[in-house]
Every structure is written in C-alpha cells, then in structure tokens.
C-alpha cells in the first residue's frame, strides 16, 4: 500500500486530496496546526493525524518518523500573511518573514528530511497564479510562491529519479482565500475537491517534473 504525507489537511485542498488518496487505498499521514480540526478530519476521512507546525523542526522530525517509507509528499500547508493584503511598500517585514518560513523554508526543509524515504517517488508543492502574475497586494504571498516554484524546478533538475511538481490549483473556495478577500462573497469559486483530479492525473501519468496548472490538466483530461 503506497504512503503519502500531506501537510495542512484539516480543511481545504489538503483535506480533499488526503481523502481522495484514502479512497484509493493509500496510507495517508497528515498534519495541521489546529489539533482539534485535524483530529476531526482524520476520523472522518481515515488518515493518520500528526498535529503540529511545519516550521517547527521537532514536528518535521515527527512527520519523518511517521513515514519511514514514502511515495508522495504534498507540501500544501501555506500562509497567506497579513489580511487585508497590504502593498509591499507597507508590508510588515516580520510578517513577510513568517510567510517565507511557512511557504518556502518549511517545504524545502521537509523535502530535505524525507528525500531518503522518497526513493523514486513524487513531490508536489502547491503554487499559485500569484507566483507568476503581478497582482496588487499579493507581493508577499506571490513572491514566496515564486521562490517555491524555483526551488521545485531545481529539485527536479537535481533529482531526476523523482517527479517534482509545482501545481497551481487555481482560485478555490477556502478559508485562506476568504482571508484574501475579507467581507467579500467568494461562493462563486469552485470547491477544493474540484482540483483534486488534476493532482491525481499527475500522480498517475508522471509527466516530466515542472510547473503545472490544474485548469490545464482538467481541460485535457
């Protein structure tokens, strides 16, 4: 039975993907900072919960201990940063540092730690269109995701035995996306589960390492 580690699975895309993998008879280990929400999701969806913060080295070590062998790592846990989204000229640098810690340094640190267990497996890093488009207010989050995209590309070049993907899932109806638009109605955005088939397609077909958009994968499926 293949094993996956998915970070940030208490809600949103991470939870939808973890549940889909469990339905495919994968063993799934998932984490999140909200221990209660994580435990509830784990009971309902059937994955193993390891509560904690991916920026904490001790927690990352616990995740590695829970996954002595691994077929898939999904670095999904992310931080939007300050809400409402501020312009870069007024972005609090301490808050920006936290965004980079969650969105860039933690995924790389976890990948470094788990490389021996991954062998010829798959790494999926959650990107965003804000990584490649200049949207007002999105400079903090977007630049962090751009850095993650570049890390993903280099990891793919350095580890040809792995399939390493940066995936832009598109705008989804999640709590984090709502924080980006406080007070606005985002009910027109699709549910996180709508993007899951794109991830499963990458997992099944294993195209070359690189950056992919869920919308493109769903259109051509």
* pLDDT tens profile 80-119: 999 999 999 999 999 999 999 999 999 999 999 999 999 8
Verify cis geometry, omega within 30 degrees of 0, for the bond prior to 84.
yes
pTM: 0.96
The DSSP element (H or E) to which 72 belongs, if any, is strand 72-75
Cβ atoms 121, 70 nearer than 8 A: yes
In CATH terms, the fold of domain 3-220 is Rossmann fold (3.40.50)
Is 135 tagged catalytic? no
The owner of tokens 């259109």 is: 219
Domain definitions of the chain by residue range: 3-220
Q: What is the mean pLDDT of the chain?
A: 96
Instruction: Choose, from 91, 135, 141, 212, the residue flagged as catalytic.
Output: 141
- For residue range 165-216, list pLDDT tens digits in order: 999 999 999 999 999 889 999 999 999 999 999 999 999 999 999 999 999 9
Checking if the pLDDT of 221 tops 60, the result is no
pLDDT tens per residue, range 7-29:
999 999 999 999 999 999 999 99
């Amino acid at each position: 039975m293949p094993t996956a580690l998915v970070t940030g699975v208490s809600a949103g895309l991470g939870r939808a993907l973890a549940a889909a993998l469990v339905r495919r008879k994968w063993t799934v280990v998932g984490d999140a900072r909200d221990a209660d929400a994580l435990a509830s999701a784990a009971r309902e969806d059937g994955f193993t919960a390891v509560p904690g913060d991916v920026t904490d080295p001790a927690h990352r070590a616990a995740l590695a201990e829970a996954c002595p062998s691994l077929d898939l790592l999904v670095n999904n846990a992310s931080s939007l940063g300050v809400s409402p989204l501020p312009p870069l000229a007024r972005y609090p640098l301490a808050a920006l540092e936290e965004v980079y810690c969650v969105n860039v340094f933690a995924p790389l640190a976890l990948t470094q730690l788990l490389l021996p267990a991954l062998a010829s497996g798959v790494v999926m890093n959650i990107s965003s269109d804000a990584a490649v488009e200049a949207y007002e207010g999105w400079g903090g989050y977007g630049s962090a995701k751009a850095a993650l995209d570049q890390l993903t590309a280099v990891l793919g070049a350095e580890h040809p035995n792995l399939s390493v993907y940066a995936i832009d899932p598109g705008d989804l109806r999640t709590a984090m996306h709502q924080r980006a638009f406080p007070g606005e109605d985002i009910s027109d955005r699709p549910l996180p589960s709508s993007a899951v088939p794109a991830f499963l397609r990458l997992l099944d077909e294993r195209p070359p390492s690189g950056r992919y958009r869920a919308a493109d994968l769903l259109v051509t499926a």
